[in-house]
Structure 1
Amino acid sequence: MNDDLDPSLDLAEQVLQLLQAAPDGLAEYALIQQLKAGHSGHLPNLPLTDKLVLFRTHFLLFNALYRLRDTLWQQQAHLLQISPLCIQLLPYQPGISALSEHDALRDYYLNLDNLRDTDERDVERLLASFWTRMQGGEEKQAALGLFELDDEKPLDMTRIKHRYRQLVSQHHPDRGGSTERLQSINKAMEILERYYS
């Protein structure tokens, strides 16, 4: 979008204009780039290579998105899908409970103290925590896959221990199983204990 955005509009209204022109939605980065190209005065006009600038830009955009989502829902105009990979206006559908459930992310982004009180060290900790969770999530999914446990039934240590005993019995070397398989099962159990104990 080459046209300048109307400077009298708040960031949420500018975002709405851009999303209306992109029916398939936009990734967060593309939306930020279009806002900057349209000379939105609401985002820092600094390179996103600085982690604190990146955090503040992201925070301001998501604050605007959650405010916009609330407004559009109250007006019964649209359902706003918010995800870093796809921000999209969807048709309003009465009866969808998405906004009636408690949304911790919404609470976080609508509290401007979180923007004011976050410094560069906090951003470093947030990024480190994110990557730890991402790596741990893959490890956890691999362990659940080895145990052949799905998320359909609630997972707890009782169910995990029961499945562990079944697998150990089935794959124990004394019963024709392999030592390597048993070691994998034990390692998976260690991982799942960290998440479910």
Structure 2
Amino acid sequence: MNDAIDPELELADQLLQLLQAAPAGLSEYELIRQLKGGHSSHIPNLPLLDNLVLFRTHFLVFNALYLLRERLWDEQRAHLAISPLCVQLQPYRAGGAGLSEHDPLRDYYLDLNNLRDTREDDVQKLLTSFWTRMQGGEEKQAALELFELHDSLQPLNLATIKRRYRQLVSQHHPDRGGSTERLQSINKAMEILERYYD
């Protein structure tokens, strides 16, 4: 009997091992870096310079994280807190809200049609929409979204924002293979956030 191994579950197991070794949690960027460093065959083995490659890598990791969260909850082993800035295993609490609350992000990432059907022009539209909102009076919210701080559970201050800014600049600097356009977006977002948090 030949049981095929579900690739998403294999990626979930790899993520679980990484998270078990980091009790304080890991950012999405760090998870992807470690997966690539471990030569995971479950995410694209390409530089994250292209918007579509970046989107697909992000989607696959979040799909596996949501699958892992459900599995750990069903087994009453742990709760998995999922945020781009910090993915962390937390103790299982019986009777907690768990997975009962409707989570549109969960629905999005567990629907593989969103991965299959999203093309490069769709990713570009998402980025354009982001900047349109930013110019339309929602600049603070848009800048926080770019920095992936919009759903932070911790109170935000300028030190936290600057730390995230340095991470993003390091990650997307053209000298490290990033794009000038992305770096300009990050710098613009930092200027906006400094006005609100200075």
The aligned residue for residue 43 of structure 1 is 43
8 Å contact kept, 2:79–2:98:
no
Alpha-carbon distance change, 139 to 48 in structure 1, aligned in 2, over 3 angstroms:
closer
The aligned residue for residue 88 of structure 1 is 88
Looking at structure 1, the residues matched to 75 and 133 of structure 2 have their Cα atoms a distance apart, in angstroms, of 37
Counterparts in 2 of 1:69-80, with a 5 A limit?
69-80=69-80
Determine if the alignment matches structure 1 residue 12 to structure 2 residue 8.
no
Cα offset, 1:138, TM superposition = 4.7
Counterparts in 2 of 1:30-69, with a 5 A limit?
30-69=30-69
- Aligned pair count reads 133
User: Which amino acid is 2:24 matched to?
Assistant: D
Alpha-carbon distance change, 37 to 104 in structure 1, aligned in 2, over 3 angstroms:
same
TM-score, length-normalised on structure 2?
Answer: 0.63
8 Å contact kept, 2:73–2:98:
no
1:46-86 CA-partner distances (Å, limit 9, x unpaired): 01010000000000000000000000000111110000000
| Greater C-alpha radius of gyration | 1
Residue ranges of structure 1 left out of the alignment (5+ in a row):
1-6, 141-197
Q: Over aligned residues, Cα RMSD in angstroms?
A: 1.9
Alpha-carbon distance change, 123 to 100 in structure 1, aligned in 2, over 3 angstroms:
same
Cα offset, 1:108, TM superposition = 0.5
Alpha-carbon distance change, 131 to 80 in structure 1, aligned in 2, over 3 angstroms:
farther
Alpha-carbon distance change, 56 to 91 in structure 1, aligned in 2, over 3 angstroms:
same
Cα offset, 1:99, TM superposition = 1.1
Cα offset, 1:139, TM superposition = 5.7
The aligned residue for residue 24 of structure 1 is 24
Cα offset, 1:12, TM superposition = 0.3
Residue ranges of structure 2 left out of the alignment (5+ in a row):
1-6, 142-198
Counterparts in 2 of 1:1-197, with a 5 A limit?
10-133=10-133, 136-138=137-139
The aligned residue for residue 174 of structure 2 is none
Alpha-carbon distance change, 100 to 127 in structure 1, aligned in 2, over 3 angstroms:
same
